[in-house]
Amino acid sequence: MTDLDRTAHDRTRLPLDVRSATRDAATGAATQSPPQPVVPVRPPAGAPNVVIVLVDDMGFGASSAYGGPCEMPTAERLAGGGLRYSRFHVTALCSPTRQALMTGRNHHSVGMGVTSEMATPQAGYTGYRPPSAATIAQTLSGNGYSTAAFGKWHQTPPAEVNPSGPFTRWPTGEGFDAFYGFMACEMNHWYPQLYDGTTPVETDRTPEDGYHLSEDLVDHAIDWVNTHQSLTPDKPFFTYLALGATHAPFHVAPEWTRKYAGRFAAGWDAQREQTLVRQKELRLVPESAELAPWAAGVPHWDELDEAERRVAARFMETYAGFAEHADAQVGRFVDALEGVGVLEDTLFVYLLGDNGASGEGGIEGTFREHLVGHGLADDTAYMDAHLDQLGDPSTYPIYPVGWALAMNTPYQWTKQVASHYGGTRDGMIVHWGSGIEARGEIRHQWHHVIDVLPTVLDAAGVPQPAYVNGFAQQPIEGVSMRYSFDDPSAPDRRTTQYFEMVGNRGIYHEGWTAVTRHGVPWQMVPEGDRPFDDDVWELYDTTTDWTQAYDLAADRPDKLRELQELFVVEAERYNVFPLDDRVTERENPQIAGRLDLHHGRTSIALGAGAGRLSEDAAPNVKNRSHAVIVDLECGDSPDGVLVAQGGRFGGWSLYCRGGLLTYAYNCYGRDRTLVRATKPLTSGQHEVAMRFAYDGGPPGSGGVVRLEIDGEVVGEGRVERTTAYYFSFDETLNVGVDRGTPVSEEYAPGTNAFTDTIHRVRFDLDADGAGPTNAERMRTRLAHH
């Protein structure tokens, strides 16, 4: 293939037309001129392979490559052979950063102002990427790259994560030839629910067999690269590896945690000091840098009692082991690239975080993340008594906010807080042996995640497309960072950038930042109104104050006013308004105002085997009276799950145990209720039902449960507290089996399928939603039975 073949196409219009331009009028093949073969699309000569690895929820000061306590030798290795960026920024939350990474546009510009589970009908928050913003995978694929994604996706509208699709916004519909991973914001690393392309798959091993999600993802990534290099070594590839680590839940084998035993006994205040010293030694921050102020309301280490310190230290040991284990898997992938001889010809971008470290574990930390997500604190005494379980399949942990602040050293605040650098500044390492001369150097140019896409296209030598699949493309808002690869003193090419997340907002312009923190990230269900006009703005000159330690708002009101006005201009330009500060509340589609899969239908029937329905794709039984009715056929003493939603850390299940119909309600993994029938199912065909009469009142109120067999009430009980906003981010609704972790500990994971025949499951939902009137209506209906 000649260079002319590679460059003759108009690469601004994708996909490229590779049909032969010549035709022959001969009527038979024997008499025609020799036809020209179709030339496969290839990028320009010298285009590198591209790998982007993204670690989840890791703060700037966590990894050893950035001065932190978590040993990450692969990150250090790549940094030693490439570049570390000291002023790289993200959006402060998962989906928005990923959509910005994929499109090169600001998150509100492409409808991802918050996570996909929090989408609303507002233009900047719909969760739907417009076709006018093609992804990096679509652009590289259109230019002849093979493409594959592994791990966390978290960019598809949740209602579309279902077996019926549509699949256009799944990875394989957004430019990736292959996908193996999960669709949600987080995943159980011991019992994940995964997809191969768009097909649900089950793991073939258990934690007892040594299974771990991070290892599984990298195994698949290595296999894909090896196959690619065996079959098409002349074709470059793009691999996107987005680990679930180090997002909650912190799941890791105990040997990784034990390695860090005792290392964090001095606490988070001491750790901040130690990390800052190391960051100065690495030249990641100037000698003048000071620790930013500590977050108000978070205790210092010496304010904790002995049990609180013991629990907190173990949380950090677990997190550090989790982080090192994740980096070790990335190391296996790097070794595989080296093994097939392509590492030096690969532009490898290692992103150490999609937002700052997460403070969503609350002040105490938690063994059950969804507790804190719903505004409830975990019990320190309980956690202290179960420390040896931390990180195993019985827990769903995330550390206390004190450690999140320490992992964001030297900056202040955490994930969600888009105003301060603790929420938005993360580590980024770039390694490209044949394309970057520098080795082990630091780059201090100010950049943002939207700059990654134009950098990759620049390195590949392909233009930003003007049309993709017939759609005119909106401008790419990022700028290429390639200018900085071999020029450490090059002036910044990004001088202005707005930030906004759940009402927290800020603006960077030519070294100055004006910021206002609207909410507290570990208070995700706040009480009372929080008017935006009451927010207090701060002003920092980061040319002299690297860490935003000294607020100059009172000294320079003129400068503050100038930047506030600039924020409004940028916010209007990129669809930031209207501001919306709801967090957990928006995770219920009824409250957020978005359509779920069922578009308000109140009678929904599912067939036997239906399943893998995400929260927005499942019938929404929360905060309302409802009935679950199962038509089944059974022999004597049927056993197993009829229908279940969620898992060990929140959900509900209707199942048979020893022939007895049973309903289990699991609220946040802490409050569990069982209602069991007083008489068994007999052999034959039956209609069994669970009818729930909701009390009404605020979200999460209780209700009365009644079990029926063929219209006869056979069991009754009460659930005092129900799930207010979401059951689970990682688990799903399934008919005939409880996939993932079990809602009830009365049955085991993986072996709980119903032993007989289910014909269908029907959900009857009150059309008017929750409320006392609905509850009374349900009680009257039950009385008639």
Q: Tell me the C-alpha to C-alpha distance, in Å, between residue 452 and each of 176, 410, 614, 692.
A: 17, 24, 31, 50
* 457 and 558 in a common domain: no
Range of the domain at 425: 49-487
The Cα–Cα gap between 499 and 497 comes to 7
Domain C-terminal end among 454, 487, 520: 487
Query: What is the DSSP code (8-state) at residue 554?
Result: T
> According to the model, what pLDDT value does residue 767 have?
36
Domain C-terminal end among 487, 520, 544: 487
Where residue 657 sits, what CATH number does that domain have? 2.60.120.200
Q: Please, are residues 624 and 686 in contact by the beta-carbon 8 Å criterion?
A: no
Identify whether 226 is part of a domain.
yes
Identify whether 16 is part of a domain.
no
- Which pLDDT band, with edges at 50, 70 and 90, does 588 fall under? confident
* 619 and 571 in a common domain: no
* CA dihedral (770, 773, 776, 778) positive or negative: negative
* 536 and 393 in a common domain: no
Domain C-terminal end among 587, 609, 625: 587
* Nearby residues of 346 by Cβ (< 8 Å), 6 or more positions away: 48, 49, 50, 51, 337, 431, 432, 433
Identify whether 361 is part of a domain.
yes
> According to the model, what pLDDT value does residue 526 have?
80
pLDDT at 776 over 60: no
Q: Please, are residues 159 and 595 in contact by the beta-carbon 8 Å criterion?
A: yes
Q: Tell me the C-alpha to C-alpha distance, in Å, between residue 740 and each of 243, 332, 619, 754.
A: 19, 27, 19, 15
> According to the model, what pLDDT value does residue 8 have?
64
* Nearby residues of 533 by Cβ (< 8 Å), 6 or more positions away: none
Q: Please, are residues 497 and 43 in contact by the beta-carbon 8 Å criterion?
A: no
* 476 and 413 in a common domain: yes
- Which pLDDT band, with edges at 50, 70 and 90, does 756 fall under? very high
pLDDT at 475 over 70: yes
* Nearby residues of 106 by Cβ (< 8 Å), 6 or more positions away: 100, 450, 477, 498, 574
> According to the model, what pLDDT value does residue 779 have?
39
pLDDT at 21 over 60: no
pLDDT in tens, 121-131: 999 999 999 99
> According to the model, what pLDDT value does residue 773 have?
35
Identify whether 364 is part of a domain.
yes
> According to the model, what pLDDT value does residue 778 have?
37
Q: Any bridge partners for residue 671, and if so which?
A: 667
* 523 and 451 in a common domain: no
Q: Please, are residues 409 and 60 in contact by the beta-carbon 8 Å criterion?
A: yes
Rounded average pLDDT over 11-29: 74
* 636 and 580 in a common domain: no
Identify whether 13 is part of a domain.
no
Where residue 523 sits, what CATH number does that domain have? 3.30.1120.10
pLDDT in tens, 408-451: 999 999 999 999 999 999 999 999 999 999 999 999 999 999 99
* 746 and 698 in a common domain: yes
Strands 660-667 and 733-735 come out as unpaired
> According to the model, what pLDDT value does residue 22 have?
55
Where residue 473 sits, what CATH number does that domain have? 3.40.720.10
pLDDT at 606 over 70: yes
> According to the model, what pLDDT value does residue 340 have?
98
Q: How many CA atoms lie within 13 A of 315 on its CB side?
A: 33
Identify whether 700 is part of a domain.
yes
**210 CB burial (10 A radius; 0-12, 13-18, 19+):** exposed
Which tokens in the block code for residue 258?
A: 């034990």
Identify whether 40 is part of a domain.
no
* Nearby residues of 279 by Cβ (< 8 Å), 6 or more positions away: 61, 66, 67, 285, 289, 409, 410
* 434 and 558 in a common domain: no
Domain count of the fold of the chain: 3
* 715 and 662 in a common domain: yes
- Which pLDDT band, with edges at 50, 70 and 90, does 172 fall under? very high
* 582 and 459 in a common domain: no
pLDDT in tens, 726-743: 999 999 999 999 999 999
What average pLDDT does the structure give for the chain? 94
pLDDT in tens, 708-729: 999 999 999 999 999 999 999 9
> According to the model, what pLDDT value does residue 18 have?
73
Percent of the chain exceeding pLDDT 70 equals 96
> Residue 600, Cβ neighbours under 10 Å: how many?
10
Identify whether 169 is part of a domain.
yes
- Which pLDDT band, with edges at 50, 70 and 90, does 775 fall under? very low
* 411 and 372 in a common domain: yes
pTM equals: 0.94
> According to the model, what pLDDT value does residue 533 have?
94
pLDDT in tens, 283-334: 999 999 999 999 999 999 999 999 999 999 999 999 999 999 999 999 999 9
- Which pLDDT band, with edges at 50, 70 and 90, does 23 fall under? low
pLDDT at 28 over 90: no
DSSP string covering 438-457, please? --SEEE---EEGGGHHHHHH
* 252 and 157 in a common domain: yes
